[in-house]
Amino acid sequence: MASPFNMPDEFVQGFFKAGQTLLQAYTGAAGHAGDAPSVPANQPALALAQAQAHYWQQQMALYTGMMARATGMSTEPTVQPERGDRRFSSEAWRDNPWYSLLKQTYLLNSRLLNDMVEAAGVGEKEKNKLRFYARQFIDSMSPANFPVTNPDAIKTAVETQGESLRAGFANLLEDLKHGRISITDESAFEVGRNVAVSKGSVVFENELFQLIQYAPLTDKVAERPLVIVPPCINKFYILDLQPENSFVRFACEQGQTVFLVSWRNPDAELGHITWDDYVESGAIKAIEVGRAISGADKVNAVGWCVGGTILSSALALLRARGNESVESLTLLTTMLDFSDPGDLGVFIDEQGVSQREQTIGRGGIYSGGELGFVFQTLRANDLIWPYVVNNYLKGGAPQAFDLLYWNADSTNLPGPMYAWYLRNMYLENNLCKPGRLSMCGTPVDLGRIDIPSYVFGTQDDHIVPWKGAYRSTQLVGGDTQFVLGASGHIAGVINPASKNKRSYWTDGKLGDDPDAWLESAKSQPGSWWTHWSNWLKPHAGKEIAAPKKPGNAKYKPIEPAPGRYVAKHPPELTGA
């Protein structure tokens, strides 16, 4: 059973398994079939001894420094937080001898634990798990996370005469009701009011998704429309947050007719939905409707994250059927080869996947709250602990931030789809193997997607490591271009051209080695959006007059965008 904060069973079980593995590594009992130790068997004890010796040397230096400081001498800290670590930014951690000692002791203990993990004689897969769970433990044990050892929390409590503690407890009780930690002021936003505000109409719906056609922003538009398949693990409006950072609006401003899939947030009624349903009744149907409404010979397709995986599966299936209705493919931070799943891989093993198959694989729902917690743990010092400190220790309220509002708007997944996805993508990595998987009764081969492809990855992506995204260039057919953006999985994609921030790399030499590509690539300042728009133009067809109204005789407008499927608490959906 999940914790009050939607902590999934895999996380709890993995935490204890990691501790057991580390203990066994230093007692000679570790053994992992098929996963050869990355450190020779005779070295862990020596490496541990060296780490301990270094630790005690630093502890002695810390003690000596504190004694010297007590006599009025100026000394440099024995250990400093890593660059970008904001937990110890207040002056008290630096100027107060007690808090300085507490901080440095914590940092030394953290480094010792990390050194023990690196020296453990286990295979690389197990070591990745040890690194992840050691980081979770280290982050959770920071003295900044506890009221009696956080100088800012104590100062605030004194200044407010204890009101901050009362408010913090009230915040905790409120979050426990909702089963998650508040990371933004959710009252500041409302879907359709100040996020997801681009004008458009829902022109099709079934039980799985609504298709939104956005209103044109230019007199002339490209003949071939753009069909976007976003992730089904989050809601679509990450692509249409506010006008100044809306990818949808940018595409419309470039003369594109944009159709976008709005996945329904599954409830028990959709507990039977499979991966094939997402491919056939989702992506393929969206392509069919977008093409029919526009009257074009082909469409251009964009997929992001698991939306890109669904879209690529759909295109492989269409090509196997001889269907050539898609002109080009854009993949944004998408994995097709799951051999390096990043930190998410620590949650995937045969036992965990089998457990999901037995519990929800034949029917049921995987909670979006649990999935949201998993993603938060990947960046706990950004998405968990700062809010614990601010909301509970200091009694504060989180600030309003549109991206975090979207991040907290979790989405469930149908059990059969989720279990199949875990096994065939993350556990067995079957999609990248030609003919290994059949979808809708047809074997699929990504190599048959013989159309131009724009593959985009982000340098600091913790969900889809950029080298994993790069491998898609070696799997799909046709002319392929890879572009690497700065920043992470979300901020790297949502990088508005109007703000001209960050940078990207392009024009590297494509081949098997992503590092070789990066060495030969050119760095470009600003947003990749403009580069992508220029790439898309030759595939967009001629210019035609912008449509005067959405839909057509067969697919008539149903309701204004953003539609009811994206609502936090959608009304009953009958007759879909």
Does residue 2 surpass a pLDDT of 60? no
Confidence band (pLDDT; 50, 70, 90) for 27?
low
Please tell me the distance from the alpha carbon of residue 43 to that of residue 35, in angstroms, as a whole number: 17
Please tell me the distance from the alpha carbon of residue 360 to that of residue 426, in angstroms, as a whole number: 17
Confidence band (pLDDT; 50, 70, 90) for 355?
very high
Write down the pTM of the prediction.
0.90
- The torsion angles phi and psi of 261, rounded to 5 degrees, stand at -80, 130
Same domain assignment for residues 218 and 145? no
Partner residues linked to 524 by β-bridges: 504
Who wins on pLDDT, 211 or 49? 211
How large is the average pLDDT for residues 59-83?
80
- The torsion angles phi and psi of 124, rounded to 5 degrees, stand at -65, -35
Q: What is the pLDDT of residues 186-200, one digit of tens each?
A: 899 999 999 999 999
Q: What is the pLDDT of residues 110-131, one digit of tens each?
A: 999 999 998 888 888 888 899 9
Residue 531 lies in domain = 200-560
**CB neighbours of 361 closer than 8 A, spacing ≥ 6?**
415, 416, 419, 420
Same domain assignment for residues 361 and 237? yes
**CB neighbours of 308 closer than 8 A, spacing ≥ 6?**
229, 331, 332, 333, 334, 336
How many domains would you assign to the chain? 2
Please tell me the distance from the alpha carbon of residue 84 to that of residue 63, in angstroms, as a whole number: 26
Which residue is catalytic, options 252, 305, 432, 440? Answer: 305
Asked whether residue 192 is domain-assigned, the answer is no
Asked whether residue 225 is domain-assigned, the answer is yes
Q: Across 33-47, 223-237, 562-576, which has the greatest mean pLDDT?
A: 223-237
Confidence band (pLDDT; 50, 70, 90) for 1?
very low
Who wins on pLDDT, 187 or 29? 187
Q: What is the pLDDT of residues 195-235, one digit of tens each?
A: 999 999 999 999 999 999 999 999 999 999 999 999 999 99
Asked whether residue 523 is domain-assigned, the answer is yes
**Closest listed residue to residue 528, CA positions, set 455, 452, 463, 451:** 455
Confidence band (pLDDT; 50, 70, 90) for 28?
low
Who wins on pLDDT, 571 or 221? 221
Same domain assignment for residues 212 and 110? no
Same domain assignment for residues 91 and 223? no
**Does the active-site annotation cover 432?**
no
Question: Is 2 in a helix, a strand, or coil?
Answer: coil
Question: Tell me, what amino acid is at 143?
Answer: P
Asked whether residue 340 is domain-assigned, the answer is yes
What spatial distance separates the first Cα and last Cα of the chain, rounded to whole Å?
33
Please tell me the distance from the alpha carbon of residue 471 to that of residue 514, in angstroms, as a whole number: 8
Range with lowest mean pLDDT among 9-18, 508-517, 544-553: 9-18
Cis preceding linkage at 562, omega within 30: yes
Helices marked H in 255-411: 275-277, 285-294, 306-320, 350-359, 368-377, 380-383, 385-387, 402-408
Same domain assignment for residues 448 and 551? yes
Q: What is the pLDDT of residues 327-346, one digit of tens each?
A: 999 999 999 999 999 888 88
Q: Are 377 and 326 in contact (CB under 8 A)?
A: no
pLDDT at residue 572, rounded to an integer: 44
Same domain assignment for residues 143 and 235? no
Structure-block tokens of residue 310: 């669904």
Looking up residue 285, the CATH number of its domain turns out to be 3.40.50.1820
- Burial string for 218-237 (b: 16+ CB within 10 Å, else e) reads eeebbbbbbbbbbbbbbbbb
- 3 state SS for 244-300: HHCHHHHHHHCCCCEEEEEECCCCHHHCCCCHHHHHHHHHHHHHHHHHHHHCCCCEE
Please tell me the distance from the alpha carbon of residue 28 to that of residue 309, in angstroms, as a whole number: 42
Asked whether residue 304 is domain-assigned, the answer is yes
Asked whether residue 435 is domain-assigned, the answer is yes
Same domain assignment for residues 219 and 287? yes
Residues above pLDDT 70, as percent of the chain: 93
Asked whether residue 156 is domain-assigned, the answer is no
Last residue of a domain, one of 112, 133, 149: 149
Range with lowest mean pLDDT among 73-77, 338-342, 375-379: 73-77
Does residue 29 surpass a pLDDT of 50? no
Last residue of a domain, one of 81, 115, 149: 149
Same domain assignment for residues 271 and 386? yes
- The torsion angles phi and psi of 492, rounded to 5 degrees, stand at -70, -30
The torsion defined by the Cα of 518, 519, 524 and 526, in degrees rounded to 10, comes to 40
Asked whether residue 80 is domain-assigned, the answer is yes
| Average confidence score pLDDT of the chain | 91
Same domain assignment for residues 330 and 436? yes
Q: Are 493 and 305 in contact (CB under 8 A)?
A: no
Same domain assignment for residues 204 and 145? no
Question: Is 4 in a helix, a strand, or coil?
Answer: coil
Same domain assignment for residues 98 and 15? yes
Q: Are 274 and 198 in contact (CB under 8 A)?
A: no
pLDDT at residue 38, rounded to an integer: 52
CA 55 to chain centre: 35
Q: Are 451 and 327 in contact (CB under 8 A)?
A: yes
Confidence band (pLDDT; 50, 70, 90) for 571?
very low
Taking only Cα atoms into account, the Rg of the chain, rounded to an integer number of angstroms, comes to 26
Does residue 11 surpass a pLDDT of 90? no
Q: Are 271 and 414 in contact (CB under 8 A)?
A: yes
- Give residue for tokens 């590092």: 515
Same domain assignment for residues 358 and 453? yes
Does residue 40 surpass a pLDDT of 60? no
